[in-house]
Structure 1
């Protein structure tokens, strides 16, 4: 390669390279963490169309540069394959201040509002007060609690049947 790096390949479950410093080893055995041999840096084939093979410890850089949306496109087994545990980092002498959580956790999803826009719960269900039925709710605006309206059974007029409750007390 032009940059002085030696390409690495996987051939019959073994590491293969033209590098003069390379030596043969079984990838499966080398990828297993042990107290006596904590390094799990092995060649891994990229699951994307680039068909490149990279060392496990270099995969963060490859994924960031070549496949920025990689987290939504790979299997859980691949994520486990490229994960470097904190135990491994400690055994390799990496200080806590230099530790990197890899792969990064998925971005948190915004909380959903399961009660808005869904069918009302059955009467007497644990999520609603006995004898009341949820009619409507709105999302909080300007930091205020949402308004929740309940239909009260047995009321004579519409204004008596709808009772507003502030906050999501019953959810």
Structure 2
């Protein structure tokens, strides 16, 4: 879904150093600052280019778990920790955007040597 309107018809593209969208509700933002959750701006939902297996598809951060599940079977075995960190949505951010305590969950769980770890 679109990170601006929630619809499914909007497209994202990187042009130079700027993101453009076909969404009528889109607005200009700096991904470097918009990607940080703060009390004033709680959402870090920004477009991110997939770095797995030369994929290069663009998805909104909050949609990435679904993308990984659909397009990259076994992603847990090949994903770089730095990319997991880029995709992570902390418990604090989930609280800031209004997810109830009983509904908050670890965002991405990556198995390591027989156990699961959250990056």
Shorter-chain TM-score above 0.5: yes
Query: How big is the shift at 1:24?
Result: 1.3
Distance 1:33 1:100, change over 3 A: same
- Output the CA distance in 2 between the equivalents of 1:23 and 1:67: 30
TM-score between the two structures when normalised by the length of structure 2: 0.80
- Output the CA distance in 2 between the equivalents of 1:77 and 1:4: 28
Question: Which residue of 58, 64, 72 maps to 1:59?
Answer: 64
Unpaired segments of 5 or more residues in structure 2? 1-6
TM-score between the two structures when normalised by the length of structure 1: 0.58
- Output the CA distance in 2 between the equivalents of 1:22 and 1:8: 10
Asked if the contact 2:42–2:96 (Cα under 8 Å) also holds between the matched residues in 1, the reply is yes
Q: Which has the higher helix share?
A: 2
Pairs within 5 Å for 1:17-166:
17-48=21-52, 49-106=54-111, 108-109=113-114
Unpaired segments of 5 or more residues in structure 1? 111-171
Q: CA RMSD in A?
A: 1.9
- Output the CA distance in 2 between the equivalents of 1:8 and 1:38: 22
Larger Rg: 1
1:26-56 deviation line (CA, Å, top 9, x unaligned): 1111001211111000000011333210000
| RCO higher in structure (CA 8 A, sep ≥6) | 2
Asked if the contact 1:13–1:28 (Cα under 8 Å) also holds between the matched residues in 2, the reply is no
